[in-house]
Amino acid sequence: MIKKLAIFGLLLLIIFPGKLLSQVKTPFSGDPLKYRAELTTFMGPNLNDAQKANLNSFLAKWDSAAFSDENKYRIIDVTSQFYGRAMRPVPHFNDLMAALNIFIEKKADSELLTTWLTGLSETAFNPRLNNESIDRYVKNTSLMIKDNILAETASLRWKVKNCKLEFIHDTTFLVKIKDATLTCYSQKDSTEIYNVSGTYIPELQQFHGTKGRVTWEKAGYGADEVFAELDNYVINTTRNNFTIDSARLTHKVYFKTPIKGGMNYEGGLAIEGATIKGTGSKELPARVTLFRNDTLYLKLSSSEYLFAKTGLASAETAMTLYLDKDSIFHSNLGFSYMADKRLVNLYRANNPISKSPYFDSFHDLDLYS
């Protein structure tokens, strides 16, 4: 009998808090006719002038025919979700009202607003997202509707040009972009990706591109002289840089179809503003090979090359000079190539290894020079 009483008491402890939780009162009844007064009461008397103007602008639209009946119920549902997440009148509800005002002022159609509210409701229901992430999602939507801006922080902005954004709802709220220019503004600089198509996911702040083209006109190269073609890439719009592994680079100064007396490059590329670097590693160095009459005569291996219009250079290069079936080798030399004169310069640098001898395979001896 004592055991039964103990179990019964435990069940009471489990059930009772649930009853208390269900009795917590929400300020929103779900009735559109009462929503104006309920929202006004919830927002409270401590709003500043801009926040009061924002609220009054929304309430005026609510009283008019600006919102469809369907969307009014969706707005009430979303605000109830916000309240259930303990989101505050300011900034969260204020930012939501601002976004809804922009939808109407920019004459966005009712179906677009329905799509966005559906996506927002699902986002607010996601327990993995905190309130600040949801608020940022709302504010970024305002920027998209108003100025075609995908994301903005104090230090950067991603903006779409030459394209009207298309908003859709699949399993989440998505933004379709086609044949546009995507620009990242950061401090006093900017980077543009042309001919962009893809999908932006506001919830993740990611742009999934299917095509695009980057040029280096700011570095003095023509748009058709140096460019990278992009496909199947992802850009995190919270950052002012991006890495794309599948880019195809065209650099007509260096990378032409191999011809007699030509030069080939094999390795990674890092393009930092106007600077283009060839990159490799100790295990897999970047290689430059030079041919004379279709015959390999010089091979260079290095972890880094610096490319310029006038030529290319490396501070530490392993060099092999081919002489028919034999060769001369050095493990660490400075290297430069002057494109206009087609002149290769190999020299000893200041590090101790560079002062070691060349190895001559034909004579099987070390050469000092």
What confidence tens digit (pLDDT) does each residue in 277-295 have?
889 998 899 999 988 888 8
Same domain for 38 and 52, yes or no, is yes
CA dist., res. 71 & res. 149, Å (int): 24
Q: 């990706």: which residue's tokens?
A: 193
Same domain for 270 and 295, yes or no, is yes
Q: Please say if the pLDDT value at position 139 is more than 80.
A: yes
pLDDT at 363: 64
CA dist., res. 135 & res. 46, Å (int): 20
Per-residue tokens: 274: 């106007």
Task: Flag the least confident range among 6-15, 176-185, 346-355.
Answer: 6-15
Give the residue-averaged pLDDT of 207-234.
Answer: 88
Q: Please say if the pLDDT value at position 43 is more than 50.
A: yes
Residue 301 covered by a domain: yes
367 contacts 321 by C-beta, under 8 angstroms: no
Confidence of residue 325 (pLDDT cuts 50, 70, 90): confident
pLDDT at 320: 93
Residue 6 covered by a domain: no
Residue 7 covered by a domain: no
Same domain for 176 and 66, yes or no, is no
Same domain for 259 and 357, yes or no, is yes
pLDDT at 255: 59
Residue 117 covered by a domain: yes
pLDDT at 30: 95
pLDDT at 6: 37
Q: Write the secondary structure of the chain as one string of H (helix), E (strand) and C (coil).
A: CHHHHHHHHHHHHHHHHHHHHHCCCCCCCCCHHHHHHHHHHHHCCCCCHHHHHHHHHHHHHHHCCCCCHHHHHHHHHHHHHHHHCCCCHHHHHHHHHHHHHHHHHCCCCHHHHHHHHHHHHHHHHCCCCCHHHHHHHHHHHHHHHHHCEEEECCCEEEEEECCCCEEEECCCEEEEEEEEEEEEEECCEEEEEEEEEEEEECCCCEEEEEEEEEECHHHCCCCCCEEEEECCEEEECCCCCCCCCCCEEEECCCCCCCCCCCEEEECEEEEECCEEEEECCCCCCEEEEEEECCEEEEEEEECEEEEECCEEEEEEEEEEEEECCEEEEEEEEEEEEECCCCEEEEECCCCHHHHCCEEECCCCEEECC
- Domain ends where: 105, 120, 143? 143
Same domain for 31 and 131, yes or no, is yes
Confidence of residue 93 (pLDDT cuts 50, 70, 90): very high
Q: Whole-number mean pLDDT of the chain?
A: 86
pLDDT at 362: 65
Closest CA to 256 of 265, 243, 245: 265
Q: Please say if the pLDDT value at position 7 is more than 90.
A: no
Residue 10 covered by a domain: no
pLDDT at 273: 66
Same domain for 136 and 179, yes or no, is no
Residue 160 covered by a domain: yes
Amino acid at 95: D
- Domain ends where: 249, 265, 297? 249
Number of structural domains found in the chain = 3
35 contacts 62 by C-beta, under 8 angstroms: yes
Cβ atoms < 10 Å from Cβ of 174: 18
Q: Please say if the pLDDT value at position 14 is more than 50.
A: no
Percent of the chain clearing pLDDT 70 (strictly above) = 88
Q: Which residue has the higher pLDDT, 341 or 125?
A: 125
Confidence of residue 336 (pLDDT cuts 50, 70, 90): very high
Q: Please say if the pLDDT value at position 368 is more than 80.
A: no
CA dist., res. 305 & res. 332, Å (int): 14
Same domain for 71 and 179, yes or no, is no
Residue 277 covered by a domain: yes
Residue 13 covered by a domain: no
Q: 């600006």: which residue's tokens?
A: 66
Task: Flag the least confident range among 38-42, 48-52, 141-145, 256-260.
Answer: 256-260
Residues in the chain: 369
- Domain ends where: 143, 173, 208? 143
Per-residue tokens: 182: 């995507």
CA dist., res. 130 & res. 255, Å (int): 48
Confidence of residue 21 (pLDDT cuts 50, 70, 90): very low
pTM for the whole thing?
A: 0.67
Same domain for 263 and 179, yes or no, is no
Same domain for 271 and 222, yes or no, is no
Give how far Cα 174 sits from Cα of 113, 132, 181, 215, 283, Å. Answer: 13, 20, 18, 28, 42
Q: Please say if the pLDDT value at position 103 is more than 50.
A: yes
Same domain for 245 and 202, yes or no, is yes
Q: Please say if the pLDDT value at position 366 is more than 70.
A: no
Give the residue-averaged pLDDT of 48-66.
Answer: 97
CA dist., res. 59 & res. 93, Å (int): 13
Same domain for 297 and 355, yes or no, is yes
pLDDT at 151: 93
Confidence of residue 253 (pLDDT cuts 50, 70, 90): low
**Residue-number span of the structural domain to which 260 is assigned:** 254-367
Same domain for 134 and 42, yes or no, is yes
Cis peptide before 32 (omega within 30 of 0): no
pLDDT at 16: 34
pLDDT, tens digit (0-9, with 9 covering 90-100), for 22-39 = 345 789 999 999 999 999
